[in-house]
Chains A and B, each alone.
Chain A
Amino acid sequence: MADALRVVAALGRRSVRQTFRRPQLVAPILIFPTLLLAVQTGGAASAVDLPGFPAVNGFLDFMLAGAMLQAALLAGNTGGIALAVDLEMGFADRLFASPISRYAIVLGRLAGTATLGVATAIWFIAIGLIFGVEFEQGVVGMLTMVIFVSLCALVFGALSSAIALYTGQASVVQGLFPLVFVILFLSSAFFPAELMLEPAASIAEYNPLSFIATGVRDQVIGGLDAAVLAETLGAIALVGAISFALSAVALRRRLRIG
């Protein structure tokens, strides 16, 4: 167990270092969500005047959760791409041949993705603080946001890893990049579901990401609600159960076919 944890920690560190060394990996995780946050906050700020829009101090208060989740999903996708690159380049084969748990190899990559989730959450909390966002739940709320965003990166990262393990091709995992935006736009990450157009509004109501977005956002604009926290954790657990199961199946298949 201790050995496996050491492997997870070492591979997690490698994953984080690898991301920050390559601008093409950092850009989708931090730069694009920040740019989009800046533009959407200025461009659609008048949306807070729409009837039915939640009570907020400013549109940035509402949008911060969306930016965090966008970054978390893209961190997950980037982790999947990096795993596929490891498979393409033969690095993963060398790891598979070494006397360590195969699951620890994948978990190491996911630990790195979860760490990136923490980093992105802190980045956007800092942006929020600089630009005057009032975090209703204070420091506890900020910590809760960091945990939710990190878990979100972890479970969506597991989904990307499953595809990376199944296909072994970075280009296929990279092709999921637009799908991240489909998932985001069909959730309440960027706008209240009840104010979206149909059929997106109905889809957003049942999209697990909407529950996660509400859980993250409520730390900024809402009160402490046990039901919302439970729904958020439930949504993360649901996505996690599916994505980890798929990852395990894909890993076993890869080890079988070599």
Chain B
Amino acid sequence: MTAASPAAVRPIGFRGGLGMVRALVRRSANEILRVPGAAIPGVLAPTIFFLGLNAAFGNLTQLSGFTTDEYQSFIIPISMLQGAGFTGAATGVNLARDIEQGWFDRLLASPAPRPVLLAGMVVSASLRALIPATFLLGVGFLIGVNWPGAAGLLLALVLVMGTGAIAACWGVMIALRFRSQAAAPLMQSGMFVLVLTTTAYAPLELLQGWLAEIARINPLTQVVEAARQGFIEGAVVWSETWPGLLALAGMLSVLGALALRGMHHTSDH
């Protein structure tokens, strides 16, 4: 019996790559279908934060400078992005588990290019981010969140998926660096900090001290503001949308490149 020479292994091509991404997305979906309980924390945590923050800080809208008198409409995008952050970070935890169990080594040994493997994980995370977002929207509308309009809703969901992708890239990067599920708190707290150091609790004018400075330069603030406009103003305008999309594209490029670098580095070793 002779082994196939490396020269005999042909590139998988675009369609093959697409099929590989689809297979990885299907695997991720199977995890949810087979262990539905695993998705619960990612849904429950942002929902509890949404309801809890609304109950505790709801009267902040009485402060002058607040852009709305409905706090639930103000913070629903934060909770949706937080859900996307948790779900995306879970991709990193799952990858760390796959690394620990040796399954990822088998993926690396396959002819699939590294960008395709990364794309499979990122697309899965983007789609999974819609689960907490949908649940939160249901709960939100029940307690009086404003209807953002079709365009506002679509934009919010696109931004949620993008944030899920960013979180996945971050999680993958950390998982490849530490190769252990023990790094899970770093994956989660990274996204936790990124989402909450924006205009999460109050408009920029009402933030104080270091948080105001950080929120001003945090690119995710633009994403939050873009997602929020539909819920607050009931309409979407391009001038408030493009900075969010640009910030998302920028973060995705940087973190995607770093995650990919981590994958190549892993293969080399």
Contacts and interface: CB of A to CB of B under 8 A. Distances in A.
A45 interface: yes
Given A24-B184, A178-B41, A185-B52, A42 B58 contact: no
A27 interface: yes
12 contacts: A24-B181, A24-B184, A31-B189, A43-B200, A43-B211, A45-B209, A50-B60, A182-B52, A185-B53, A190-B56, A197-B58, A200-B56
Interface in B195-220: 196-197, 200-202, 206-212
Given A175-B41, A197-B55, 16 more contacts: A24-B185, A28-B185, A32-B192, A35-B193, A45-B209, A46-B206, A47-B57, A51-B62, A177-B45, A178-B45, A178-B48, A185-B48, A185-B52, A195-B59, A196-B58, A197-B59
Nearest to B55: A200
B57 A44 contact: yes
B135 to A, nearest CB: 13
Contacts of A195: 59
B57 to A, nearest CB: 6
Contact of A35 (B44, B182, B196): B196
A184 interface: yes
Interface string A192-226: 00011100110000000000000000000000000
A40 interface: yes
Interface in A24-43: 24, 26-28, 31-32, 35-36, 38-43
A239 to B, nearest CB: 20
Interface string B155-198: 00000000000000000000000000111111011001100110
Interface residues of A, number: 38
Contacts of B201: 39-40, 43-44
A191 interface: yes
Interface of B: 40-41, 44-45, 48-49, 51-60, 62-63, 65, 181-186, 188-189, 192-193, 196-197, 200-202, 206-212
Interface in A130-170: none
Interface string A71-113: 0000000000000000000000000000000000000000000
Contact of A42 (B52, B55, B185, B209): B209
B182 A24 contact: yes
Given A24-B185, A191-B56, A182 B48 contact: yes
Interface in A1-55: 22-24, 26-28, 31-32, 35-36, 38-47, 49-51
A125 B134 CA distance: 40
A123 interface: no
B223 to A, nearest CB: 17
A207 to B, nearest CB: 12
Contacts of B62: 50-51
Nearest to A179: B48
A66 to B, nearest CB: 9
Contacts of A40: 201
A35 B52 contact: no
B48 A46 contact: no
Contacts of A177: 41, 45
A32 B62 CA distance: 28
Contacts of A22: 182
A37 to B, nearest CB: 11
A33 to B, nearest CB: 11
Contacts of A36: 196
A38 B209 CA distance: 11
A43 B185 contact: no
Nearest to A189: B56
Interface centre among B186, B193, B196, B210 (most CB of A within 10 A): B196
Contacts of A47: 57, 60, 63
Contacts of B56: 185, 190-191, 196, 200
A65 interface: no
A236 interface: no
A184 B45 CA distance: 13
A28 B212 CA distance: 25
A178 B63 CA distance: 30
Contacts of A23: 182-183, 185-186
Nearest to A38: B211
B247 to A, nearest CB: 19
Contacts of A51: 62
- Please provide the 6 A-B residue pairs with the shortest distance between their CB atoms, ordered closest to farther: A42-B211, A185-B52, A43-B201, A27-B185, A200-B55, A197-B58
